Amino acid sequence: MDTDATRPSITGRDAVVSAPGPRARGETTVCVNEACSITTAMRAAGTRRLSASPGA
């Protein structure tokens, strides 16, 4: 995910809700990559709450 593209939708929000999941079976880093991108954008925006529920 692009942190800079994510930041505008996070700025001014009280919390972020995320439900990432892979598109195919097998090993993937989609959840880790998404969490890193979102938390980086959250820090920059000053948003402190994240609710994440990885899909399977």
Please report the DSSP string for 9-28 in residue order: HHTT-SEEEE----SSSS--
pLDDT at 16: 95
Domain ranges of the chain: 3-52
Distance CA 20, CA 51 (A): 11
pTM, two decimals, is 0.78
pLDDT band of 56, cuts 50, 70, 90: low
- 15 forms beta bridges with 49
51, 52, 44: which is closest to 11 by C-alpha?
44
pLDDT tens per residue, range 4-54: 898 999 999 999 999 887 777 777 788 888 889 999 999 999 999 999 887
pLDDT at 40: 94
20, 1, 9: which is closest to 44 by C-alpha?
9
